């Protein structure tokens, strides 16, 4: 079992503001190549930032970047590397490490090196929203294959979009139940490959089904 608890907004909000400042500087730096917008997703967008303060890993943020490249001048590899290069030029001034390039995201971290701790971090995915053949909302992201050193656009797995269910739960005053079960699942999770977004989706679906919403 872990000891996750919800982090007070007064603690994480200033960190979020710094990340926004970094992204604004990145926007200015890459503007001669392309523009992009961004949005905070996950815990920060729901005021559900968690942290196990007994561990050496702090709280984190998740961000989606939407690049405007309608003429497709830049490949998936170009887009991700341009963003990483810009982050590496700017983020260190705010105390962040150089970018880590993982399968789905770019990660920057603020580290307390003497105590081998991560104070907080930010995972950034480059995504593209589009409408499927049946009129449904879809999203793809840039996936980095470490073994082959390739970058490709890959469709998000089914169920990534929970907006309708989240809206219904809030309308039914069931959000407190969601917060309670989500935190319980985070503390009970023993699968290192099961991340917060999966636990949240599982919680939302479970509470919806339990209360009769199955759309």
pTM recorded for the entire structure: 0.91
Q: Where do the structural domains in the chain lie, given as residue ranges?
A: 4-157, 162-215
Name the band, by pLDDT with cuts 50, 70 and 90, for residue 72.
Answer: confident
164 touches 215 (CB < 8 A): yes
CATH of span 4-157? 3.30.460.10
On the question of pLDDT at 156 being above 90, the answer is no
On the question of pLDDT at 159 being above 70, the answer is no
On the question of pLDDT at 146 being above 90, the answer is yes
Q: Is the dihedral of CA 100, 186, 12, 62 positive or negative?
A: positive
The C-alpha atoms of residue 19 and residue 120 are separated, in whole angstroms, by 11
Give the model confidence (pLDDT) of 131-141 as tens digits.
888 888 889 99
Q: What is the pLDDT of residue 24?
A: 98
Name the band, by pLDDT with cuts 50, 70 and 90, for residue 160.
Answer: low
Q: What is the pLDDT of residue 42?
A: 86
Give the model confidence (pLDDT) of 75-128 as tens digits.
999 999 999 999 999 999 999 999 999 999 999 999 998 889 999 999 999 999
209 touches 165 (CB < 8 A): no
What DSSP state is assigned to residue 212?
Answer: T
From the list 189, 194, 192, 214, the residue with the least C-alpha distance to 204 is 214
């Amino acid at each position: 079992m872990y000891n996750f608890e919800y982090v007070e907004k007064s603690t994480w909000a200033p960190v979020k503001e710094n990340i926004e400042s970094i992204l604004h500087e990145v926007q200015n730096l890459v503007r001669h190549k392309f523009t992009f917008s961004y949005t905070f997703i996950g815990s920060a967008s729901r005021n559900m930032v968690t942290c196990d303060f007994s561990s050496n890993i702090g709280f984190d943020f998740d961000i989606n970047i939407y690049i405007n490249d309608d003429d497709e001048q830049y490949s998936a590899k170009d887009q991700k590397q341009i963003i990483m290069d810009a982050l590496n030029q700017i983020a260190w001034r705010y105390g962040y490490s150089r970018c880590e390039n993982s399968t789905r995201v770019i990660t920057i971290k603020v580290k307390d090196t003497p105590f081998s701790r991560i104070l907080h971090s930010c995972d950034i995915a480059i995504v593209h929203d589009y409408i499927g053949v049946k009129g449904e909302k879809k999203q793809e992201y840039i996936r980095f294959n470490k073994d082959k050193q390739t970058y490709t656009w890959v469709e998000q797995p089914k169920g990534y979009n929970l907006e309708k269910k989240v809206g219904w739960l809030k309308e039914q005053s069931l959000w407190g139940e969601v917060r309670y079960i989500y935190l319980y699942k985070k503390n009970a999770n023993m699968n290192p490959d099961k991340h917060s977004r999966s636990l949240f989706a599982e919680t939302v679906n479970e509470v919806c089904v339990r209360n009769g919403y199955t759309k």
